[in-house]
Structure 1
Amino acid sequence: MGLKVAFTGGREGWVRALLTGVGVGLGVALLLLTTAIPNAMQAREDREYARMDVAIGDAEPAKSDSTVLVANVDTEFRGLDVRGRQLEPEGLRAPLPPGIKRFLAPGEMFVSPALKELLDSKDAELLRERIPYRITGSIGESGLIGSAELAYYTGGQSLAEFVDDSAISRIDTFRATKAPSQETDPVLLLLVLLVFVVLLMPVGVFIATAVRFGGERRDRRLAALRLVGADSRMTRRIAAGEALGGALLGLAFGIGFFLIGRQVAGSVELFGVSVFPSYLDPAPALAVLIAVAVPAAAVAVTLLALRGVVIEPLGVVRTTKPARRRLWWRLLLPLGGLGLLAPMIGQGGGNGTFNEYMVAGGVILLLVGVTALLPWVVENVVGRLNSGPVSWQLAVRRLQLSSGTAARMVNGIAVAVAGAIALQMLFSGVQDNFTEPTGQDVSRAQMEVSIPKGAALAEAQRKLAGTPGVRGAVAVSTTSLAASRENPESSVGLTVGDCAALREVAKLPSCREGDAFTLHGSWPDGETVKLAEPGRELFVNPTIEGSGKGTEAAWTVPRDIKRAVPYKGPTGWERTGFLMTTKALPTAVASDISGVIYVRLDRSAPEVHEVVRNAVAEIHPLASPTIYAQNERSQSYDSLRTGLFVGAACVLALIGASLLVSQLEQLRERRKLLSALVAFGTRRRTLSLSVLWQTAIPVALGLALALIMGLTLGSVLLKMTDTAISVDWTSVLAMTAIGAAAVLAVTALSIPPLLRLMRPDGLRTE
């Protein structure tokens, strides 16, 4: 009978079922999306390994009819990573990477759909200059990790000359074996667990709120059933059946919303992460759990809500003054959460992993404590509010009569904000643990350009020095020096450059072309001292097993070799071994060693990094520019932080949509009251302001409680990770402001339907 009432109860029944279905459906869709995220991340990783062009842990194969040379020609454009590869097959059976159907001739290019769109745009002229190849096809989905990935393949030529370069690989398959798994930092695992708990808690709260839509009208219908003979147990079973019907409709809506969102996800990129719709497949076991848990939760919430309502044949006993809410049991929830987390305080990352069940249980109890405390806070505060304008008095009186309903509307956003504040505190507190200094001196150079062997280093230096936005360029070549031609027992470094370049890396007593120096730094280098014996024959660029064939040119240590003291270079390390001016280097070696150019930039020049990258691409296709940075952060930490932002964006969208549905349901419930007030002469402006106050007061109280609980939870989590408690008030206030802005936006969107409801027609009844 309850199911029948839900779907055959006329217009009112259908509207209530529809609102419940939409509210539950939004939550179900987000739950399904969450269960699909691990599969999506795994799919991205599998695609990455399927096209891997470096054999992990395996020796590089010898040249054969089934090998291909792959050059890494990645670049960056205005903060966007562009994956680039040059391919040169060495035989008819050379493997093709996933996503392309044939090898390309030099000058041809296959691009991803996203890169083609970018290249066709008006503001990508600099990128078109950098990769000026002719587009002859598209990379298929199997060759991309996401729909918005920027990638291209182009034909290579004479890559065998650079096969010893780290940017060139010879492979016989594009499917690499996965690298061995490494032990994950306990603090990182804690962050992963907290992200999932904090993002999913508001979803559960929203679903519990949605199944109670239209509660007052439902109870009046149940009173009518009591009048025709139903007892109290029957009415509860009927109410459970009605809630079950709304939940089942919500499951159907949720699947529909998820399928729509799944398709939309293929054209959306959030914080640099994109997926294909095929990636978003929920885990079957979790999908079944959602299908069972949501209807069960709907029935449980309905029966729990009816415990405080007396439904009699002549009406519903709820409009009398209810008993005051008790505080003691509500405090037990957050105190229990703190009790579960307290044993792990001070553990940090060096005392093993955190107990995941205690962490999840403690955080859930603290966040559920927000939903338990908020009704008590709202009831006690609004009970003391009195005088004010008419709109204020209308809002306050309504809140005094139904403070529980007002609190339920705000519960979800309060939980979301409390969790977000706690996570923000934890992420800010532990970010130093995942950030390491690079040692790079950005005051001496801002970019480094690696020049492959065979390229004219001096010409490259002159070109870069004349590039707009470049203040200076220092070029040095590096190789090794040893006592034997092949596979020496030991070798030392050799740095080559003109006098100006050598003065950038060491303190020289004097310098002129043809000089050579030995480096004696802050730590003893016995090998250099041993090899620096005047008159001894050494070999420049010896052949070392595993690094390719060297030039092996002989060089005799001069009797007047000078001593130099190394500086810490722009990369932060001291050079060791020998220094040579360009003329002192054997001629045979000059074209067989690679070089590095350190570039100083005028940072005020427009798009200086892009201009330099274009100049580097003109110098040599395999030349590689790198931007210096003082610090670098763990990729796992950054990926998790990105995942948090993506999840928070989805939850924020759910908050707004669910609040809007809740607000519309509340207005529908009060249609007759609003019409009566208008009929008696109440101004529409007054009623609109009263609706704003009814939303603003609970929201302000909910955000204040969320701030307190979020700071408490964040402080405990920081103590658990053995990190000093610090509060980034800018971020905390930003989180609170985002929550308030979502509510204000929902209130503004509800004004048009409110104005339509404020008509005398609303007094009509059937």
Structure 2
Amino acid sequence: MNVRQWWRDLAMGARFAFTGGREGWVRMLLTGVGVGLGVALLLLTTAVPNALAVRHEREEARLDYTYGRTTQPRADDTFVIADTDTTFRQSEVRGRLVEPEGPRAPLPPGVGRYPGVGEMVVSPALKSLLASDGGKLLRKRLPYRIVGTIGEPGLVGSHELAYYAGAQGLAARIDHSQVNRLDHYGDPAPSTERADPVLVLLTLVVFVVLLMPVAVFIAAAARFGGERRDRRLAALRLVGSDSRMTRRTAAGEALAGSLLGLVLGAVFFLAGRQAAGSVEILDISVFPSYLNPSPLLVVLVAVAVPAATVAVTLLALRGVVIEPLGVVRAARPARRRLWWRLLLPVAGLAMLAPMLGQGRDQGNFNQYLVSGGVILLLVGVTALLPWAVETVVARLGSGSVAWQLAVRRLQLSSGTAARMVNGIAVAVAGAIALQMLFSGVDSVYTTQSANDVSRAQMQVSVPSGIPLAAAARKFARTPGVRRAEGLAGGELGDSGKDPRSSGELTVGDCRALREVAALPSCRDGDVFVLEGGQHDTPQLARSGRTLYFDPSYSGDRGAEIAWTVPRSMKRARSVEDPTNVRRSGFLMTPGALPAGAARTLYQYVYLSLDESVPEAKEYARNTAAEISPMADAAAWASTEQSKRFTSIRTGLLVGAACVLALIGASLLVSQLEQLRERRKLLSALVAFGTRRRTLGLSVLWQTAVPIALGLLLATTVGLTLGAVLLRMTSTPVRVDWASVLSMAGAGAAVVLAVTLLSMPPLFRLMRPDGLRTE
């Protein structure tokens, strides 16, 4: 057999696909759309690593470190920048106040010129928000005139909220924390931190789990319209072709459909890529230009998809005898064998076994063994499901007319029924395993907040130089604020320079000090020494001793304000403050502070909110912005979670939603194709008096039985894979049944939605005129 003959037969099949009349066109269109959807999702998935890399590069390029012990000397290429990030409802707003100090001061990425005082340049998303009715509260917080927009190079996503506002006099506020002088943007020392092996494992498994259902779907799409195609191939046998030539012709027809699918997939990908820039899912957004898949991966998809389509077609035809007078399908097929189907999941478990108990402390997981093991386990679902459907439906008994019609159809074509739900089963199995893994390691990446959220729900840092008592009173008058307590903190040393011993200092009015200590009595001008704190320093509390506010250390000059410990100092017992810390050192009321000492303190206002007031947090943030643009209002939460862990989980949810939508579309196409092939049968049943309700129920049963078996098998494999992954990370095996049931329920919901959407076409096909033929 030479290559030329192969090529001629494949070309003949392709011509049949394009010139085979309406039937050929419909089948090729079904295959093309099915393969195209799969190709589009493959391309979008392969573009994700590049999108993440570009987001990281953009973030690195615009970094502006405001914290550090040293400050650049002023020059014509320096600028002063202040971090004024805020939160609006659930969205983060990246904010910066900037003041260039010379003509050569570098511009932030994406910004054409520095805004003047009272002006700002904003991201397109922030500009739209401020112009909408929903942005009224935020407009009060950003009282600057918009003079431009930030370009794409300065943003990490199309929906990012960000601004740069012009300011003056920032140099006087440099505090090495929120305000600093810089001469460049970008990270001077990129992180070389070792990746967490468990997070790498999570990322790897997420990609495998999301791509496997796509591969299964493409394989199923290659077999759309198979029965009609085989009947057409019988005509080729009648005019003299042998069985091998017939199979090659069928492969050519499938190849044409897959090539059309590649073209449609590219169109779908470009449309999806463009649409990706206009949506935000779980606070993640990208620009269309980010979604550029690697050329090597594009070539791999372009070669692998047609090759897989041809291979699937040839494999499917092995069990079909195409003769000149028809297709032999009615003969009882050989029973499917179980032993080789079990080898796949067993081999997968064997590949994962060497990494059991490895945890996060024993180096990285072998990515090839992980990928291979997970793939084999998930492929095992597609191999076991046809056997399970065949075995179960062969034993189903009598029932209603709808049940009997459904069971008989399943007994005649159990393989087709299994193929329809294979993608759902694989997706659910992978999702269950990942949910188990996420739930198991969640506690490692989630920490309980130390803050007492029953006493305060927000903490506002107030810049020094602003009267703390006045700020607290302003917060107390804010809608939604029940109580506002202002406390300031600082350091007292036993010498002005490089003290050998130092202690804490807390300043506030009597009411605020009672938040941190049990006071015997209190009035303005009192000083207390705390007992029972975490770091008591009794040697500093001797009457008559001179201590120094804000002492200097090498490389960092402080105010060095002298203060003498008074003889009238009282003792107080330390209690847990709103951050659940027992403070130590000294307590002072404002009247006891020496001149100039207030400017050396860091100041906080703790807010107790009335959660019944809508937008209470936004009112508090607006008040903070009125007090000072650099007042940082932070909402407290009972738990805090690793950002990278959260982003991986977000990626799983977004990817799973896309995969389930794709599989739902594939199921709908497959269901419509099945109904179209059975049009004459349905019309005959209606003509003989079968009720439409009965036929509708039969279609529902035909879908429900395989999906029930598929979800049961998927749950078993998913729980097994999840348990193995948990053992690999040295995490106790625990089944999160709520997640398991939710994943299975999502799969069942997709199938139910597809069945309901197929009902209108089904009823249109149930017409006696469907018996007409030419």
TM category (shorter chain) comes to: over 0.9
Look up the match of 2:545.
536
- Is the Cα contact below 8 Å between 1:149 and 1:274 reproduced in 2? yes
Look up the match of 1:194.
205
Q: CA deviation at 1:254?
A: 0.8
TM-score w.r.t. length of structure 1: 0.96
Look up the match of 2:663.
655
Distance 2:657 2:554 in 1: 52
- Is the Cα contact below 8 Å between 1:240 and 1:303 reproduced in 2? yes
- Greater CA deviation, 508-517 or 604-613? 508-517
Give per-residue Cα distances to partners, 1:120-146, cap 9 Å, x unaligned.
222332222222322222222222111
Distance 1:532 1:687 in 2: 90
Seq. identity, %: 67
After TM superposition, list the pairs within 5 Å mapping 1:580-599 onto structure 2: 580-599=588-607
Out of 514, 517, 527, which is 1:503 matched to? 514
- Greater CA deviation, 215-224 or 418-427? 215-224
Q: Which amino acid aligns with 2:201?
A: L
The runs of 5 or more residues in structure 2 that have no matched partner are 1-11
Distance 1:206 1:505 in 2: 62
Out of 425, 429, 438, which is 1:414 matched to? 425
Look up the match of 1:151.
162
Alignment of 1:717 with 2:725, yes or no, is yes
Look up the match of 1:677.
685
Alignment of 1:351 with 2:359, yes or no, is no
Look up the match of 1:567.
575
- Is the Cα contact below 8 Å between 1:473 and 1:597 reproduced in 2? yes
- Greater CA deviation, 479-488 or 192-201? 479-488
Q: CA deviation at 1:414?
A: 0.7
Change (3 A) 1:119 1:609: same
Change (3 A) 1:56 1:612: closer
- Greater CA deviation, 206-215 or 372-381? 372-381
Q: Which amino acid aligns with 2:316?
A: A
Q: CA deviation at 1:513?
A: 2.9
- Greater CA deviation, 686-695 or 245-254? 686-695
Q: CA deviation at 1:722?
A: 2.3
Q: CA deviation at 1:522?
A: 5.4
Q: Which amino acid aligns with 1:580?
A: M
Q: Which amino acid aligns with 1:759?
A: R
Distance 2:364 2:378 in 1: 23
Look up the match of 1:632.
640
Give per-residue Cα distances to partners, 1:686-711, cap 9 Å, x unaligned.
32222222222211221122122222
Q: Secondary structure at the match of 2:218?
A: helix
Look up the match of 2:8.
none
Q: CA deviation at 1:55?
A: 7.2
- Is the Cα contact below 8 Å between 2:71 and 2:176 reproduced in 1? no
- Is the Cα contact below 8 Å between 1:49 and 1:177 reproduced in 2? no
Q: Secondary structure at the match of 1:363?
A: helix
Change (3 A) 1:524 1:569: closer
Look up the match of 1:179.
190
Q: Which amino acid aligns with 2:250?
A: A
Q: CA deviation at 1:523?
A: 5.4
Distance 1:280 1:192 in 2: 18
Q: Secondary structure at the match of 2:18?
A: helix
Alignment of 1:286 with 2:297, yes or no, is yes
CA RMSD after TM alignment: 2.0
Look up the match of 1:337.
348
Q: CA deviation at 1:418?
A: 1.1
Look up the match of 1:12.
23
Distance 1:746 1:722 in 2: 40
Give per-residue Cα distances to partners, 1:360-380, cap 9 Å, x unaligned.
222111111111111111112
Look up the match of 1:732.
740
Q: Secondary structure at the match of 2:464?
A: coil
Q: Secondary structure at the match of 1:81?
A: strand
- Greater CA deviation, 384-393 or 213-222? 384-393
Q: CA deviation at 1:252?
A: 1.0
- Greater CA deviation, 304-313 or 669-678? 669-678
Q: Secondary structure at the match of 1:294?
A: helix
Look up the match of 2:527.
516
Look up the match of 2:122.
111
- Greater CA deviation, 193-202 or 81-90? 81-90
Q: Which amino acid aligns with 1:636?
A: R
Q: Which amino acid aligns with 2:603?
A: G
Q: Secondary structure at the match of 1:124?
A: helix
Q: Which amino acid aligns with 2:265?
A: G
Out of 307, 318, 328, which is 1:307 matched to? 318
Q: CA deviation at 1:164?
A: 0.9
- Is the Cα contact below 8 Å between 1:56 and 1:179 reproduced in 2? no
Q: Secondary structure at the match of 1:675?
A: helix
- Is the Cα contact below 8 Å between 2:67 and 2:177 reproduced in 1? no
Give per-residue Cα distances to partners, 1:447-482, cap 9 Å, x unaligned.
111010111111001111222222222212122222
Give per-residue Cα distances to partners, 1:288-311, cap 9 Å, x unaligned.
111111111111111111111122
Distance 1:60 1:157 in 2: 18
Change (3 A) 1:303 1:59: farther
Alignment of 1:220 with 2:228, yes or no, is no
The runs of 5 or more residues in structure 1 that have no matched partner are none
Alignment of 1:687 with 2:695, yes or no, is yes
- Greater CA deviation, 611-620 or 550-559? 550-559
- Greater CA deviation, 197-206 or 222-231? 222-231
Q: Secondary structure at the match of 2:596?
A: helix
Q: CA deviation at 1:270?
A: 0.7
Look up the match of 2:214.
203
Q: CA deviation at 1:390?
A: 2.2
After TM superposition, list the pairs within 5 Å mapping 1:383-532 onto structure 2: 383-488=394-499, 491-521=502-532, 525=536, 528-532=537-541
TM-score w.r.t. length of structure 2: 0.95
- Is the Cα contact below 8 Å between 1:49 and 1:178 reproduced in 2? no
- Is the Cα contact below 8 Å between 1:452 and 1:593 reproduced in 2? no
